[in-house]
Amino acid sequence: MSKRVMVVDDSRLVKVQLGDILEGTDYEIVIFCRSGEDAIAKYDEVKPDLVTMDIIMQGMDGLDAAECILKSHPDARIIMASSLAYDDTYERAKAIGAKGFVDKPFHREQLLKAFEHALC
């Protein structure tokens, strides 16, 4: 059975890239949210096994959105994704309970390894 993935990113290109990377794997994108607010609103409805969360988005950023989801769902498995990450960003992601961090542009092996680690 496929693992259900929620992708949260303001770029449609990311949805396409992740779809290509995940094709033929045990992961399926079940919803694409373009904002942190949308992800928070849809999380209960979708109940994903895993979330990829962009950090820099319009409105609520991904770190705040992840923190909000994790407060309501401590068992949520969220992997932060960004092309502009600094040490303090990694530290905050870890402190709020993110299960991993992947750099953009995505590399298949790095992404699948992060997914595996998050689901352990």
Domain range annotation of the chain: 3-119
Number of Cβ within 10 Å of residue 114's Cβ equals 20
pLDDT at position 85, please? 64
Lookup: tokens for 91: 């530290």
Lookup: tokens for 119: 């689901």
Q: In the chain, what percentage of residues exceed pLDDT 70? A: 99
Number of Cβ within 10 Å of residue 82's Cβ equals 21
Beta bridge partners of 102: 81
List, for residues 9-59, the tens digit of each pLDDT value.
999 899 899 999 999 999 999 999 999 999 999 999 999 999 999 999 999
The model carries a pTM of 0.94
> What rounded mean pLDDT belongs to the chain?
94
Pairwise CA distance, residues 50 & 52, whole Å: 7
- What is the CATH number that goes with domain 3-119? 3.40.50.2300
Pairwise CA distance, residues 39 & 23, whole Å: 23
Provide the strand spans (E) within the chain: 3-8, 27-33, 50-54, 78-82, 100-103
Helices (H), the chain: 12-22, 36-46, 62-72, 87-96, 108-119
59 — phi, psi (to 5°)? 75, -135
Pairwise CA distance, residues 106 & 120, whole Å: 21
pLDDT at position 60, please? 95
